[in-house]
Structure 1
Amino acid sequence: MTTAATRSSDRRISPVFLGIAAIMAVTGWAVWTGFAPNPGLAVFLFVTAAWVVSLCLHEYAHARTALHSGDLTIGAKGYLTLNPLKYTHALLSIVLPVIFVIMGGIGLPGGAVFIERHRIQGRWKHSLISAAGPLTNVLFAVVCTAPFWLGALDGVPMAFRFALAFLALLQVTAAILNFLPVPGLDGYGVIEPWLSYKIRRQVEPFAPFGLLAVFALLIVVPGISQGFFDVVRAVLGGLGVDWNEAACGQDLYRFWTDRNPVCEAAISR
């Protein structure tokens, strides 16, 4: 039987997403070959496009898992098309994450897929739906870092290496932040089905402010920020990515600022 969730038009990949993916591919090629006259601008476009692609895949993972768990309304809402404009809060899922990348190099978690949870039975299914998004960031981080831990970057232009390292940093920060058991984040969504009704009702009013509280602590409390980035550094190191390479990637990404002389010298070699 054909339903709103199973029509082929509901699953057709959006031209908007394909356009963003094309920008990622073309600018990645430009950075790889050194074709771009301004490598910083090319890295900016490549990393930003790749970051938006990962955000779309993050939301798609939530939606696809919800569909298979029982919410048959997902397809009609356009979530399976990978179109970022279909998300219920494009500002939170796309615009703000990109702004945070530009400002501070932090992968801001998204979370704008509206799921009709009452259609889904079983605590494990609810937990898996919440975990599916950040697990996509984990997978994206593994893919980005694979050339590093496989030793497959010999002879690769340093600009591309730095860009890939910075993109991996964004995926790692997004995965860690998303998995925090804070109301409003996916990590809390994983454990929420296992909490008592009383606790869930008490926590519910704080959910809209959870993400803001996390970022306020990261910005205001130096010890928390340092501890967070120590964890990110350790994870990147475990995946074969040198922290300095990720820092040079961010430096190159912010092409409108003065470039670090050490990074500039590495790119020029």
Structure 2
Amino acid sequence: MASTATRGERRVSPVFLALVAIMAVSLWAVWTGFSASPGFAVFLFILSGWIVSLCLHEYSHARTALHGGDISVGAKGYLTLNPLLYTHAVLSIVLPVVFVVMGGIGLPGGAVFIEQHRIRSRWKQSLVSAAGPLMDAVFALAVGLPFLLGALDGAPDNVRYALAFMIQLHVTAVILNFLPVPGLDGFGVIQPWLSYKVRRQVEPFAPFGLLAVFGFLWIPEVNHAFFDMIDAVLRTLGVTEWDTYWGQELFRFWQGTPEIPPLHTVDFG
């Protein structure tokens, strides 16, 4: 059967469009200083942007599955970019925000249920799993382009900090998601190539994979190596530790507006 979906199954959700609008308006408020609380505007931008990227992540899984042979994704509404079909209020929004506040980590959230038996080859099954974090990487690169191109010269400092923190969250999400740990997309990439016996043995551990990862991150050596990897990616994009630090401080608007020194007074050499 052809890998198609009806026009209604592909119609973009108004909820998603509203989130994109919130993301754009909140970034405008940061740029113009319109909001009395710049931190609140940054918070709205980061939160709405995170949910938008989550929708794109899950849409990428579903769209790739559709072309791989799983035509059920259209009937499930996964092609509409509707976050209400991808998210769980606690697991996809509350917990990620808590982890952002605690340590600036982009926690993977959301899920689409792919009927793997419909996917016609192991390569396509692997690609379905990889599609989500690859979309996160594209999102991070798109937000990072102004840094790479030096296009933020003259832009308000708070805009720079907000974009930098957004990039950090997505870089951490990409790295976490690509770990070959049960329950994460990285394991989904290699799972089709494992024997049936191994897959059955590993399956019960899938709900605890992410918890195990965060358990390992409490080990100082692992934690340092993880964040060194993130820092290396951020430096490649032209994002400094100063940028991400103040982005996170602004995100925590409930702590009050921080006194941020002007960027031109900082010596990075």
- Provide the TM-score with structure 1 as the length reference: 0.93
TM-aligned CA deviation for residue 87 of structure 1: 2.2
Query: Hey, what does 1:108 align to over in structure 2?
Result: 107
Cα-to-partner distance string for 1:39-70 (whole Å, 9 max, x where unaligned): 11110111111111001100010011001110
Distance 1:13 1:99, change over 3 A: farther
Query: Hey, what does 2:222 align to over in structure 1?
Result: 224
TM-aligned CA deviation for residue 239 of structure 1: 1.0
Q: In 2, distance between residues paired with 1:82 and 1:253?
A: 25
Counterpart amino acid of 1:155? G
Q: In 2, distance between residues paired with 1:2 and 1:124?
A: 19
Cα-to-partner distance string for 1:7-53 (whole Å, 9 max, x where unaligned): 21111111111111111010101111122111111101111111110
Distance 1:46 1:221, change over 3 A: same
Structure 1 window deviating more from structure 2 (156-165 vs 35-44): it is 35-44
Query: Hey, what does 1:156 align to over in structure 2?
Result: 155
Structure 1 window deviating more from structure 2 (80-89 vs 39-48): it is 80-89
In structure 2, stretches of 5+ residues that fail to align are none
Q: Among residues 227, 234, 237, which one is paired with 1:236 in the alignment?
A: 234
Q: Secondary structure at the match of 1:207?
A: helix
Q: In 2, distance between residues paired with 1:71 and 1:153?
A: 42
Query: Hey, what does 2:138 align to over in structure 1?
Result: 139
Query: Hey, what does 1:266 align to over in structure 2?
Result: 262
CA RMSD of aligned residues (A): 2.0
Counterpart amino acid of 2:146? P
Q: Is the 8 A contact 1:84 1:94 kept in 2?
A: no
Query: Hey, what does 1:246 align to over in structure 2?
Result: 244
Moved over 4 A (4+): 258-261
Q: Secondary structure at the match of 1:256?
A: helix
Counterpart amino acid of 1:251? E
Tell whether 2:26 aligns with 1:43: no
Tell whether 2:206 aligns with 1:210: no
Q: Secondary structure at the match of 2:117?
A: helix
Query: Hey, what does 2:70 align to over in structure 1?
Result: 71
Distance 1:36 1:122, change over 3 A: same
Q: In 2, distance between residues paired with 1:2 and 1:202?
A: 34
Q: In 2, distance between residues paired with 1:100 and 1:191?
A: 27
Q: In 1, distance between residues paired with 2:89 and 2:62?
A: 15
Structure 1 window deviating more from structure 2 (95-104 vs 62-71): it is 95-104
Q: Is the 8 A contact 1:63 1:113 kept in 2?
A: yes
TM-aligned CA deviation for residue 267 of structure 1: 6.9
Q: In 2, distance between residues paired with 1:250 and 1:52?
A: 17
Counterpart amino acid of 2:189? V
Structure 1 window deviating more from structure 2 (81-90 vs 175-184): it is 81-90
In structure 1, stretches of 5+ residues that fail to align are none
Query: Hey, what does 2:32 align to over in structure 1?
Result: 33
Query: Hey, what does 2:14 align to over in structure 1?
Result: 15
Counterpart amino acid of 1:131? A
Among the aligned pairs, what percent are the same residue?
A: 65
Distance 1:234 1:42, change over 3 A: same
Tell whether 2:52 aligns with 1:56: no
Q: Secondary structure at the match of 1:110?
A: coil
Q: In 2, distance between residues paired with 1:165 and 1:58?
A: 20
Q: Is the 8 A contact 1:60 1:80 kept in 2?
A: yes
Cα-to-partner distance string for 1:85-128 (whole Å, 9 max, x where unaligned): 11274543344323322333211112410011111121100000
Distance 1:88 1:161, change over 3 A: closer
Q: Is the 8 A contact 2:54 2:110 kept in 1?
A: no
Tell whether 2:174 aligns with 1:175: yes
TM-aligned CA deviation for residue 256 of structure 1: 1.4
- Provide the TM-score with structure 2 as the length reference: 0.93
Structure 1 window deviating more from structure 2 (250-259 vs 187-196): it is 250-259
